[in-house]
Structure 1
Amino acid sequence: MTVLPRAFAWQRTDTTGGEFATLDDRRGLHARGTAFAADRGLYTCRYDLHTDEGWASTRFEVTAEGGGWLRTLRMERAAGRWRVTTGEQGDLERVLRGAPFAGIEEPDRLHNVLDVDLYNSPLTNTLPIRRLGLHRAAPGTTVTIEAAWILLPSLAVLPVEQTYEVLEGRRVRYRSENFTAVIEIDDEGWVTEYPDLATLA
């Protein structure tokens, strides 16, 4: 296994939980992370993320696990198309009634997606910020993208529209559907404060 040179940790501020990731961001991004939370049942997840040199996501593998169940998701993008495969052991439905199936029935709905967004993960919010150069952009710069939102703990994948607006003072306003948050970032674009969600440790 490759040793990755950097590490970040975020403490959840809305519930018991956190995220830890090691990464190499010298030529695109390779990140391995672990997160756990008690917000929708008690669960943990482990992920391995790769982007190309322009920070567009190319491969994302994640395992989510809780008492009596385990799910896996693998997403790979090649030639402009996503391939999505899933696996399941145990019974998440017993713990979380109404939990959707992992993955997505029609991967072609992800045709315009270049970024993965893991539910409540500060690390994956950095992907479009770095890919679009928003950490260096002038205040007022606004970009709308389509991302693959990966729900936890189900690992269902949803294409969602997201808007990022650069504000003064290393802040970015994030909007998706009816949700809005002003995220604080450092000079490299890493999330340092996500209100009512997480803070960089």
Structure 2
Amino acid sequence: MPTSRVITWEVSESKGIETAWTELGGDVLRARGRAVGTTPEPYWISYELDTGNRFVTRRLSVGVESAGGVRTLDLRHDGAGRWTANGERLPEVDGALDCDLGLCPLTNTMPVLRHGLHRAPGERELRMAWVSVPDLTVLPSRQTYTHLEPGRIRFVSGDFRSDIEFDDDGFVVDYPSLATRLRRSGSCG
């Protein structure tokens, strides 16, 4: 039976906030999220993410609204390593199993869960279909995830490096220089 969670992060990199409604069951993740950011320009974003078995991305649907207008992206993975964006082939990201939505801490969850890196030693170098926000350009990205201790993983991509804290379910708690999960401060009556 899937477990549902609502997670909100303060996203320091975009000077904004993001909330994700997640369903995690077995080795499948489904989520929908909304975010607002003010950097590099003010924008609203909404997304839906579906994975197949082993947390492999099947589809990421994204909509962005900014001063530049409205943009959408329908990013799909065929399960055999091939990707399309709005129906057009993306051979430059072939072989990637995951998408990585820029400025979004949620999309770090899939590779961490697949390889159990939040719980056990290991290191994985991965090719990702990285989506730039707010322009929604899809680019290949080499990323390395290294287990440091339970709940702590070093993330490296190019010259960027950050030691990220994950909870027991594989969701980001603290991603220095990007985002920090907000704690619930009480209940509404």
Per the normalisation by structure 1, the TM-score is 0.83
> Partners of 1:181 and 1:75 in 2: how far apart?
26
Q: How many residues align?
A: 178
Cα deviation 1:7-58 (Å, max 9, x = unaligned) = 1110123453011011111140110001111111100110000001210000
Partner of 1:84: 85
Where does structure 1 lack aligned partners over 5 or more consecutive residues?
87-104
CA RMSD between the two structures: 1.7
Where does structure 2 lack aligned partners over 5 or more consecutive residues?
183-189
Amino acid at match of 2:154: R
- Quote how far apart the aligned CAs of 1:169 are: 4.5
Amino acid at match of 1:147: M
Return the match for 1:179 from 143, 156, 160. 160
Return the match for 1:118 from 88, 101, 107. 101
Partner of 2:91: 108
Amino acid at match of 1:135: H
The 1:149–1:136 alpha-carbon spacing in structure 2 relative to 1, beyond 3 Å, is same
The 1:15–1:26 alpha-carbon spacing in structure 2 relative to 1, beyond 3 Å, is same
Partner of 2:135: 154
- Quote how far apart the aligned CAs of 1:75 are: 1.1
Partner of 1:92: none
State whether residues 34 and 46 of structure 2, in contact with CA within 8 Å, keep that contact through their aligned partners in structure 1.
yes
The 1:170–1:43 alpha-carbon spacing in structure 2 relative to 1, beyond 3 Å, is same
- Quote how far apart the aligned CAs of 1:137 are: 1.5
Runs (4+) off by over 6 Å: none
> Partners of 1:46 and 1:112 in 2: how far apart?
26
Cα deviation 1:120-176 (Å, max 9, x = unaligned) = 1110111110122212212xx211000011001100000110000100242100000
